[in-house]
Chain A
């Protein structure tokens, strides 16, 4: 088993929390993990990505090769497109639909949707709306984790345990709303 996952978003959107949950679950499963992330200048509102690799055998590279990502999981629609060269021919794309507009030349949403449609069957998620319904506007990244979960190679209950571990210190309510968000994303992806 080997999964290459690109996590994408804009600095400050919380992709590292998604990575942390998958990492935690993978570590519990005894899997090998490499998860490269962006620190420093780009974190200030710039495009950020994390290369996450998990396998049941030794991994060497921290970076994913072009054309080998099993999943591009993005919390922002334009950012989903930025990493398409990494997508494997049978890879999946799951992205949140809410644009994060902080550049003057942000393309029109119709153009982004048209490009996403060319990929095949992207999982398009109104993540912010679902997160609010689940009880926490800040949990849209966990909605996206749920939407991407079927392609991570890790069972949903293991990922939920990861959410417990990651958010446990913040209290029961935070854990519950994040798990609700995760489940709603998962439902949307599997139905």
Chain B
């Protein structure tokens, strides 16, 4: 038996490669990043010419994947849950056009918000777009599911979502591989009646999507991802995704008598669900995420049979555990040792020697000279500047919002209107906001923290750094005289403060680039160079 130890994310990657993808498109985001990184490292992917470099954002990634599918080939597109908000326009409309080559969207949700600003549930997007959603429960199932997902996508000619959550994506297990399938041949067909979404076409395509729904439900009835998992008695558990793991673990550990129905493919297999509800007086709905299906089972007027996150049987927010499942099924848990009172929290922090530290020192000095010292910021390592001892940034909402929020505040009269954004976040969705500010002559100071990489997610290639960033800003119409630079080092503090002071005072758009390479990236490159030298 040839088993390979893979993270859930890596199982998705290997499964997609073996299912014959010709490309992966993605923007990094925890907990989805490792899918694309695995493909980038894969020798087989290189040999097969599978394209895999990073996209500027999730929307560009999704559209490129759709284009590859249009040309007849199989494509994978990966993102974290909030990335799907960025790609949503392309995603929802690709359900109307449909696909040619298999198109699979692997999306990784982050319940409990380990590395995210919310815990939105991507299954809701699947329902919204009316496309199949697959939600495997183990690393092996993730691998096997990729074959199924691409075949299903080509059978029903729709994009298919493979949804996973942090615990599965970032957990390793032994995975058995199958023999790989060849890539599809190039086969781009003219089908403007499907792909030109003018109203007269879109109405027909939408009708088609609606008409497909019974077939999708029927396919769920025979999916290997949906199955009763034994048990007896009046208590039923309908366990979605990795909710199944916790239900099975609790049932085995505590000898709980209950029936379990495992769900891993949507739309729901109606007959299986009806059978469970008919056989049980109470059904616990176990979802790793929002109570999407629990709400449906309850209906507006409620159902006395349904237990779950909405009636407090399980917590409304946060990820599930075996203990939560055991409690929900009536098991009294033994006392366990408490965390001693002296155990202080240890939050993450900016690395020692990181240039962001010196950048925040400079910004803090310069902005304290003003009565109002709000600093708008964004998503990346520099978000850690919100924590003590810096407490230097005061917003972090969504990718790119630093610039546009500063612009809106400037329009309202706030002076200075200062924002901090990283190089990768700037190219992800900061550039368009900067264009708004230029067009509106909004007095904002945009500090671009250019560390030459996408650092927070582990140092991926950034779309634009260094001189390319300057070119972009000039191209967007920022006055060259107000594109300034400093190197964030302690010895440059006075110079940095002077530059910031001048630009804060300027009644127009300025960009101040704080350029110093990420120390983690530099260390990694040094190690790599040393390894090559040996």
Contacts and interface: CB of A to CB of B under 8 A. Distances in A.
Contacts of B456: 40-41, 44
Contacts of A11: 348
Among B245, B248, B337: residue with most chain A CB under 10 A? B337
B348 A41 contact: yes
Interface stretch (A81-89, A123-131, A148-156): A81-89
Given A61-B245, A65-B322, A78 B348 contact: no
Interface stretch (B289-297, B339-347, B429-437, B477-485): B339-347
A39 B322 contact: no
Contact of A36 (B170, B349, B534): B170
A37 B399 CA distance: 26
Contacts of B343: 78, 81-82, 107
B274 to A, nearest CB: 26
Nearest to B252: A60
A157 interface: no
Contact of A10 (B242, B326, B346, B381): B346
A158 interface: no
Contact of A24 (B5, B31, B338, B340): B5
B248 A107 contact: no
Nearest to A79: B346
A45 interface: yes
Interface string A137-179: 0000000000000000000000000000000000100000000
Interface string A47-89: 1000100000001111101111000000000110110111100
B174 A46 contact: no
Interface string A21-45: 0011001001011111111111111
A66 B336 contact: yes
Nearest to A10: B346
A42 B30 CA distance: 11
B3 interface: yes
Interface in B402-436: none
A65 B172 contact: no
B265 to A, nearest CB: 19
Contact of B351 (A36, A44, A61, A82): A44
A111 B534 CA distance: 46
Nearest to A108: B342
Contacts of A107: 342-344
B47 interface: no
Contact of A39 (B1, B31, B168, B349): B31
A66 B326 CA distance: 11
A111 B342 contact: yes
Contacts of B31: 39-40
B195 to A, nearest CB: 37
Contacts of B384: 41, 44
A105 interface: yes
Interface in B342-371: 342-351
A63 B114 CA distance: 15
Given A27-B5, A40-B456, A82-B343, A62 B338 contact: no
Interface residues of B, number: 51
A102 interface: yes
Nearest to B333: A66
A81 B337 CA distance: 10
A30 B31 CA distance: 28
Given A42-B348, A60-B249, A84 B339 contact: yes
Contacts of A27: 3, 5, 174
Contacts of A40: 30-31, 114-115, 456-457
B30 A39 contact: yes
Contact of A33 (B173, B248, B345): B173
Contact of B30 (A41, A60, A65): A41
A47 B348 CA distance: 7
B342 A112 contact: yes
B115 A103 contact: no
Interface string B125-154: 000000000000000000000000000000
Interface size class of A (residues with CB under 8 A): 35 or more
A87 B30 contact: no
A112 B339 CA distance: 12
Contacts of B167: 36, 62-63
A115 interface: yes
Nearest to A31: B174
Contacts of B174: 27, 32-33
B11 to A, nearest CB: 13
B173 A115 contact: no
Given A37-B172, A40-B30, A60-B248, A46 B334 contact: no
A175 B305 CA distance: 59
Nearest to A30: B1
A103 B351 contact: no
Given A40-B114, A42-B114, A60-B246, A103 B345 contact: yes
Given A40-B31, A41-B348, A65 B321 contact: yes
Nearest to B458: A39
Given A27-B5, A33-B5, A44-B381, A85 B350 contact: no
A65 B249 contact: yes
Contacts of A47: 345-346
B295 to A, nearest CB: 25
A87 B348 contact: no
Nearest to B348: A46
A57 to B, nearest CB: 9
A51 B246 CA distance: 14
Nearest to B137: A60
A51 B245 CA distance: 15
A124 to B, nearest CB: 16
A85 B336 contact: yes
Nearest to A16: B172
A34 B173 contact: yes
Contacts of B381: 44
A171 B350 CA distance: 32
Interface string B10-42: 000000000000000000001101100000000
B529 interface: no
A65 B334 CA distance: 11
Contacts of B248: 60-61
Given A23-B172, A46-B346, 8 more contacts: A19-B172, A27-B3, A40-B457, A61-B322, A62-B167, A62-B242, A63-B321, A67-B336
11 contacts: A27-B174, A33-B173, A35-B173, A39-B170, A40-B115, A44-B351, A46-B347, A66-B333, A68-B253, A78-B344, A84-B337
Q: Which 3 A-B pairs have the closest CB atoms?
A: A40-B115, A40-B30, A46-B348
